[in-house]
Amino acid sequence: MFTKRSISQLGVIAMFITIFITLLSLPISAGAADDGSKIIVQGYITPDLISSNVNVKSGFKVLVTGTTVSQLTDANGFFKFEIKKKDGTIDLEISKAGYLTRAVQKLAGNIDCILSTIDKPVLMYAGDVPKQGVQDSMINIIDAMVLASAFNATSSDLRYSPFADFNLDESIDMWDVIILAKHFSATTAEYPAIIPVTAKSPTPTNTTVPTPTPTNITSLAPYTLVWSDDFDGDSINSDNWSAADTNVVYNNELEAYKTANAYVHDGSLVLEAKKETYLGKNYTSGKVVTKGKHAWTYGRFEIKAKMPESQGIWPAIWMLPEDDNLYGGWPQGGEIDILELLGHQPNKIYGTVHYGNPHASGQGEYTLNSGKFSDSYHIYAFEWDPGEMRWYIDGTLFHTEKSWYTRDINEADSITYPAPFNRDFHLILNLAVGGDWPGNPDETTVFPSKMFVDYVKVYERKDGVYPPAGERPEINNTIARQPLPDGNYIYNGSFDQQNNDVAGMRNVGSNIDITMTSYWTFSHVDANNGVAEASNDNGAIKLDISTPGNNTYSVQVYQKPINVEKSDTYRVTFDAWASLDRNMSVKVGSEADCGWANYSGDQTIALTTSSKEYTFDFKMTGDTNPAARLEFNVGAAGVNTVHIDNVKMIKLPRDPNASREPLSNGNLIYNGSFDQGSKCMGFWNFKTSGSAVATGSVSDNIFDRYFQAAITNGGTGADSIVLSQSGLNIEKGKEYTISFFAKAESARTIEADICSIADTPVIYSTEKSFSLTTDMTRYSFKFKMAQNTDARSQLRLKLGGNTSKVFVDNVYVKASSQGIHVEAEDADVHGEITAHGDYVTFGAGSYISKSITVPEAGKYVISYKVSTSDANGWLSVGDENHKETLPDTGGNSSWVNVTNSVNLNKGAQVIKIYGNAVNVDWLELSKDLVVGGSMTAPAADWIYWNTSGENAASTKSVDDGKLKVAIAAVGDNPWSIGVNQSNISLEQGRQYRISFDAKSTISRKIRLSVDKADYSKYFNLDLDITSEMKNYIVDFPMSATDTNCTLTFSIGNVSGATEAHDIYLDNVRMVEVADLYCQSLQSIVAPVTTEDDTTAIITDIITDGTFETGIGAWGSYAGEASDAGAGAITLDATSGKLVADVTKVGDQNYKPQVKRGSLSLIQNKTYTLTFNASSTVGRAVEVTILDPNNNYQYFGGNKFAISNSATDYFLTFTAPATTTTAELQFNLGTIAGYESTSVTSAVSIDDVKLVEATTTDIYNDGSLYNRYLNREDL
């Protein structure tokens, strides 16, 4: 039976047929553009339709039939790739989802060929819509029905299909009907024949044809000169440039930069490379930068320069971000290479942009028709707009980039486009020697080599107005190759299939595929000197490596195209072995069209001489790529033989009921910093209801982005305007902390809660109200999930009921840390403490104090965020006798993290932090996960090993409270010598800190790692240590829950140290932290402590209040046996808490009672009593402290309503006298004024603590202040 909607859709289909008949009767041009192809195959593709969308020409795949060689068109419809010459002909296939595939046949395989030009491109017919991922190579009624089913849908509609939106206007409408009708009934075979351009005018094989040049955009949008340097003086202008003097280089380069190698001569800047020894390097060269002097966002950069040539010489003109911290380091921070030239290719230049995480890049190249770039000066220009970059050589455009991205691996999505290229970059001019890309100098290299720069000019668009970036252009619409029936994405992974229609592996110089290697490609990179021979050895690939080359990818085997989809997880397995023990690098990544992105990370595989199965999993965090590749990189590891077999890659199933994973820092909120996704609002929903009128947006300032709600009408209540995010997995029984920063245009309140997503939501947390001011302030609250787990919960920030503009930033919802976080400005201050808003400064004789509740007794790590300009500044826990003397951190505005150890008792207590000449922002306390980190002799908690079979020689001892390893020989591998500790339990979604002191009698590297039981790594870092004892801190997120992690110091052959030396380790700590404060390694001079494992001097007057060993000194009283008004009570502590079962309520408050005597109190001292209590039936309890040996003198007390939910309670009092016989009483009889709730029940009491109080615990009326239910920082 048809529904009304079905009938409507049939009507639309009937309408389409009528339109098609009408349109088909009209004359429609079917002419095709000329096209061409060559050994360098290039041309232009365009759809036969009209569209204003700039991306309509991009994403057409041009494939060499029978091979895996292909290229996608760019935004201009241009493509270009190289293919080896061959006798006979080659065929091309041009395809894109939604378009009729087009074949180009019988192109000469031995000459270069231009397939088409920009003014006469190859035309593609729209209308062949994919059905379940398959196109049928014809435009017919089935396509019309697909279009009908989506008719009138927009991009926000579930019926919308991007493949039927031919003109890319985000709406499937009559224009798409007309486009489909234009070539209705066409098939692939009916495309007109293409006559290549080179078929009419052959081009000699040895001539490189330059890329056709679109209109120069500078003629359309004039620029204004804003900065220049003509190098007309006698020396480098120090107001513009800094000349480098350093041996810190990258990419395995061989030079040290020397100031004297950068100079001005005859009106040009000269960068000179020499063969000479300097700073431990065998070559010197010149480098100048504008960092710290000049930097620019957008514009035109023009450099007139003359390049050197020679093997291993590598000149570059490039740009890096002025602010290294905004988006992170390389590559996610971005790099722009205006020009690079490889000395052994003096007629070719490259323009490149690097970005992303995983790393990706886009690159163009230009080859001179004749001559070399070393013959004369050329003008290299780069134009940078918010959404486009363009590279020019002598006025000719040779490369354009429009689609880039960047992301923080700890976040859920890419930073909003056009990041990272939306902030200042500075210029760098340098001349490198050697390195991964150009290779090293040889006997032909000419020294000195010189790069000359005539001028550098920077322009901006007139009036500084640039076109907006818009949304990031989508790329790569290729239809994906499907996995095999068994789910394997790898074809012929067992090397036992021969498909004559699909290319296989070939050795250099051979025209014949190696048997049974279809779908695979074998490559050595000549520039990296890799030489090997491949063969099929009884169904396994055998690689005989005679020259390993400079890089792992110097010799490689790979397969493409493999479809990897964003957010899916994949498992790669394979068998491998070698003729000797060695490493092999394996990865899944992209081709050049996606910037050689590395999706899986480089997986280092330790091969042995026996066949073994290897496995690794990875999650695809980049954009979906249907043309990825799996690589086996076997270069740079000596002369040997490697075998590979049984290669598989499968997609791991998604659990349809699986909850959204927290971020690596534990945050359940995605994009809490409002800098990801479309318009920076990814994952968030902003809506109004009723009469409310408001708009939600994110500020444009990339250094201070925040959400802002501009409110015209606030509606009738707070929930009239809501900023929300759903998909939060809130688990039953867990406590969560919700935190955000907010301010308002004028003082007002907002509300927040966690609830279900139902139309009438279930509120899981109490609805909290927050009073906003005009200053951005942190607000937070906690709640424990009492309902069943809800994997789709939502956070709501309710902003209605007021017209004052609201600003929100840095939102998080996390399972509460097991540690205790204290903001220093929130603590009680004593003595010469100066408060500065968000930190405090300690003066002589001062301390801060804070009441805290410690969940269990034991050794804790206390972490501080501190700064000081005084090398004698110090902190001490408990009193002034446990000083930790801090190094000068670099000034009062230079903040670092430091740690110390402290022993704490369980329960409520007051912690005091003394100090002098130091600033403290915050402190955190968390249980130390390491045992024996202070290295007290004999350091028995640590396992030490020395692998003599790997040529290691060392001994272990404890020297002056430090673990000492005396190393005579480091051995063959990093793990040949090491120290570790196992059985460390870590939890997924939490963050952890490793802190330790280390030094070595020689400068060298060591390797720090957190290992799984199979020795694979959760965390891995190589770091430098020197002869100075330093403290090292690094924080990392935990990716899985594992109760048997191992903290390992590998101190064998990490950096090739050869001479004998000693390594010292001390104060090793590992602890949970609330956030990734030190995600990058922090290294400072090690603080000096007066003694290890300090104890906070906080006296707990009640020593048995946790009932872990039974009732202890506690007792009860119910009245005399002859007393008719007596109560009845029994005590039990077998459950780890005191349970008082009241079976009869007496006629007085103390009939019955629980009591604890022999308490020592001092006159005029103020004390805090804390306890946890619950009752099977809600009832009143009166707590008193008195002295039965002094006429029951009253010291303090209060009455409490105890519920069936275990709750923490506080009571403060000041002792009127000194005594050693005070008694604490929990009176469970008839409480005056509360007779109706003085009932029989079982009352549970736990964590009873009595300590000297701080001032904020005292209230004039003596009433209870339940701080633990209201505190925002604990």
User: What are the catalytic residues?
Assistant: 335, 340
Q: How far apart are the first and last CA of the chain?
A: 62
Read out DSSP for 804-826? S-EEEEEEEEEEPPSSEEEEGGG
d(CA 1247, CA 906): 8
d(CA 420, CA 911): 44
d(CA 363, CA 623): 19
How far is the CA of 1090 from the CAs of 91, 737, 867, 1099, in angstroms?
A: 79, 36, 20, 22
Q: Among 545, 542, 541, 534, which residue's Cα sits nearest to residue 512?
A: 534
Strands ordered across the beta sheet of 1241-1252: 1128-1132, 1138-1144, 1241-1252, 1166-1175, 1207-1214
Look up residue 475 and give its DSSP letter: -
Look up residue 663 and give its DSSP letter: P
**1212 CB contacts (<8 Å, ≥6 apart)?**
1166, 1167, 1168, 1169, 1196, 1253, 1257, 1258, 1259, 1262
d(CA 1131, CA 1140): 5
The CB density around residue 221, as the number of other CB atoms within 10 Å, is 14
Instruction: Specify the residue for token string 């770091």.
Output: 1023
Instruction: Specify the residue for token string 């968030």.
Output: 684
d(CA 867, CA 882): 19
Strand locations in 989-1100, DSSP E? 991-1000, 1004-1011, 1017-1025, 1030-1037, 1042-1050, 1061-1073, 1082-1085, 1088-1089, 1094-1095
d(CA 474, CA 58): 9
d(CA 734, CA 740): 20
Three-state secondary structure call for residue 526? helix
d(CA 990, CA 1073): 8
Q: Among 633, 634, 627, which residue's Cα sits nearest to residue 489?
A: 627
Q: Which two tokens stand for residue 835?
A: 């408060």
Helix (H) or strand (E) holding 868: strand 858-868
d(CA 434, CA 281): 12
d(CA 630, CA 492): 13
Q: What is the CA radius of gyration of the chain?
A: 36
d(CA 1180, CA 718): 36
Q: Which two tokens stand for residue 1088?
A: 């000096």
Contact indicator for 1128, 1118 with CB cutoff of 8 Å: yes
d(CA 244, CA 258): 6
Q: Among 494, 495, 570, 560, which residue's Cα sits nearest to residue 523?
A: 560
